[in-house]
Amino acid sequence: MMELLLAAPGAGVTGPLNKLLSYLAWLVSAAGILGILIIGSRMAIALRSGSGDEHLTQFAVVMGACVIGATAGPLVEFLLF
């Protein structure tokens, strides 16, 4: 009789992958915070000089990247496990 085993990959396979996803999540978080700080400082400088309209699109791009980065880890974990 042939048995079909549907199980999650063993800890030997997913251990390094979990560590990599953890490091990537920290890097994405750090890059998002750095991006927000850079855009905030550029907005402050631009508002002092009298122009500050173009920074809203840059802020939206950084926030969109943060959302994509924040959802990538749980999505991969859901698909693999």
pLDDT tens readout for residues 11-43: 566 777 778 877 888 888 888 889 889 988 888
In a domain? residue 13: no
Burial class (CB in 10 A: 0-12, 13-18, 19+), 63: middle
Share of the chain above pLDDT 90, in %: 2
Q: Which domain holds residue 39?
A: 22-80
**What is the distance between the alpha carbons of residues 7 and 52, in angstroms, rounded to a whole number?**
54
In a domain? residue 8: no
In a domain? residue 1: no
Where is pLDDT greater, at 45 or 53?
45
Number of domains in the chain: 1
In a domain? residue 45: yes
In a domain? residue 73: yes
- What SS3 string covers the chain? CCCCCCCCCCHHHHHHHHHHHHHHHHHHHHHHHHHHHHHHHHHHHHHHHCCCCCHHHHHHHHHHHHHHHHHHHHHHHHHHC
In a domain? residue 61: yes
Share of the chain above pLDDT 70, in %: 78
User: Is the Cβ–Cβ distance between 33 and 70 less than 8 Å?
Assistant: no
Specify the pLDDT at position 1.
47
Q: Average model confidence (pLDDT) for the chain?
A: 77
